[in-house]
Amino acid sequence: MMKETAKDLQYVKWLSAEDMHLASKGWLSELNFIKDEHRFFEDVITTFTSELVAYGDFSDSLEIIDAINQSEKQSQTLLHAIKTHESKLSIMVDGIDQIEEEKAYAQEHRNLIVAMTAYLSDYKSLKLQLFEIIKCIKKDNKNEHLLDRP
């Protein structure tokens, strides 16, 4: 996972309110799509419950299910934080010089950049693990079908 440093985040100082708004909207879109993917994962897990139990080490299956649940909770937390952040955008565009509030808003945006980068990296890893397990299950099922043929 790539770590963001304070130096990497200095560019936030130069982001306009519109740039931060567009970034926030992009994050909200990604998180809403991920919410749909979480529902898909739940359906997949329900469909393949017996295979997951039989697949390799059952504790691995429980860990992936727990990781999906944790990811879902973290996604909800980020959605709420970004919506709240978005609602405070007026501080940046109201035409009133509020230096401390504007600095705080930019810092909050930096924190969200770091949080979203970490979340999306972890989420991608989670998806890859889940799809690898499902791929193995499907492959095993196909091989069993082929062996069962007369």
Residue 8 belongs to a domain: no
In-domain check, residue 3: no
- Tell which wins on pLDDT, 56 or 92: 92
* Structural domain harbouring 118: 15-148
Q: Which is higher by pLDDT, 139 or 71?
A: 71
pTM: 0.78
Residue 144 confidence (pLDDT) above 90: no
Query: Is 96 among the domain residues?
Result: yes
* Confidence at residue 146, expressed as pLDDT on a 0 to 100 scale: 56
* DSSP per-residue letters across the chain: -PPP-TTTTGGGGG--HHHHHHHHHHHHHHHHHHHHHHHHHHHHHHHTHHHHHHSS-HHHHHHHHHHHHHHHHHHHHHHHHHHHHHHTTHHHHSS---HHHHHHHHHHHHHHHHHHHHHHHHHHHHHHHHHHHHHHHHHHHHHHHHHH--
Overall number of domains in the chain: 1
